[in-house]
């Protein structure tokens, strides 16, 4: 039963990724304007335009170009960038590593902090700490990431000059220098996902706290923290795991704005640079990588929920 449910989630994820590839390819094809003209400029001759269209395969029908693109992806070939003539797979590998490095450290900070704050809010629910944490979460959710990023740059990079305002990293950079470089974008991402995870943790535990076995635990004279730690948290872990993984998916895919603000050499900055240059193969490749990461982590969230929740494993 469990293996069947997991197989269904994986199959659904593959179908969603295939549908996403169709949408990404179609979306880049219906953009207004001529790709060849935008690359060569207004002074391009008709012969040069015709040669470039033939080189890019633009003379073939859209469905033929789609299957050619998909066949290349299945063989690990993401194509070649039109502007730089570099292999897209190599460039994406470097940029994706930088994005995952940033997302990893943001998650290392955000996930434990969100769970701890959620537990404290439950312990002191309706009290000063609960209201203060909930108020902070509401404010953090209401403020857009780009505004948080600009505030961090102003105070910590310009005014006090503690951290660099431009987060450039490279392969041989010392680890401590890397950590200093990503401090501000990591903080912006942490504040972006912290509130949602904390509120969902609080809501999940409060829902469990209304159960009868919690009342039994209270009658045993256990402290509030013992009740939460031994009884409420283990039974609320399934929705918490689900919301954590979904926020990790957002953390990887939603880095575009933060990376642009801090000029961080990740996937988001790579995408924006080539959208401005109308480099369609790069836009398609990055869009597909983002879709694959998001769908993969959603499948992981579904599988984790199935494994953690007996009611999902045995729906009858």
DSSP helix/strand/coil, 189: helix
Backbone angles phi, psi at 128, to 5 degrees: -65, -45
Find tokens 């953390």 and name the residue.
Answer: 251
For the chain, domain boundaries:
88-287
**SS3 state at 87:** strand
**Structure confidence at residue 309 (pLDDT):** 65
- Report which listed range, 50-59, 243-252, 261-270, is most confident: 261-270
Q: What is the pLDDT of residues 150-200, one digit of tens each?
A: 999 999 999 999 999 899 898 889 999 999 999 999 999 998 888 888 988
For the full predicted model, state whether its pTM sits above 0.75.
Answer: yes
The 8-class DSSP code of residue 82 comes to: T
Q: What is the mean pLDDT of residues 107-132?
A: 89
d(CA 247, CA 241): 10
Which of the pair, 136 or 307, is modelled with greater confidence? 136
| Mean pLDDT computed over 67-87 | 87
Q: Which CATH superfamily is domain 88-287 in?
A: MetI-like (1.10.3720.10)
Per-residue pLDDT tens for 190-240?
988 888 889 888 888 888 887 777 777 777 777 777 787 777 777 777 788
Helix axes 62-74, 2-29, angle to 10 degrees: 130
């Amino acid at each position: 039963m469990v293996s069947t449910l997991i197989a269904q989630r994986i199959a659904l994820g593959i179908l969603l990724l295939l549908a996403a590839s169709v949408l990404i390819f179609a979306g880049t094809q219906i953009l207004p304007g001529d790709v060849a003209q935008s690359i060569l400029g207004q002074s391009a001759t008709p012969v040069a335009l015709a040669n470039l269209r033939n080189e890019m395969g633009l003379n073939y029908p859209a469905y033929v170009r789609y299957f050619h693109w998909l066949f290349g992806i299945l063989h690990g070939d993401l194509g070649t960038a039109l502007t730089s003539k570099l292999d897209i797979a190599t460039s994406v590998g470097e940029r994706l590593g930088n994005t995952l490095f940033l997302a990893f450290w943001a998650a290392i900070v955000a996930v434990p902090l969100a769970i701890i704050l959620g537990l404290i809010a439950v312990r002191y629910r309706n009290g000063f700490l609960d209201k203060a944490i909930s108020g902070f979460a509401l404010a953090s959710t209401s403020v857009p990431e780009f505004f948080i990023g600009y505030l961090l740059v102003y105070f910590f990079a310009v005014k006090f000059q503690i951290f660099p305002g431009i987060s450039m990293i490279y392969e041989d950079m010392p680890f401590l220098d890397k950590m200093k470089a990503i401090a501000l974008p990591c903080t912006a991402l942490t504040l972006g996902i912290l509130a949602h995870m904390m509120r969902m943790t609080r809501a999940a535990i409060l829902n469990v706290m209304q159960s009868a076995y919690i009342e039994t635990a209270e009658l045993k004279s256990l402290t509030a923290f013992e009740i939460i730690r031994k009884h409420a948290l283990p039974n609320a872990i399934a929705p918490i795991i689900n919301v954590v993984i979904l926020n990790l998916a957002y953390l990887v895919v939603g880095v575009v704005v933060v990376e642009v603000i801090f000029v961080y050499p990740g996937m988001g900055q790579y995408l924006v640079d080539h959208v401005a240059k109308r480099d369609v193969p790069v836009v398609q490749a990055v869009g597909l990588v983002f879709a694959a990461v998001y769908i993969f982590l959603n499948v992981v969230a579904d599988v984790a929920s199935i494994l953690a929740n007996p009611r999902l494993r045995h729906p009858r």
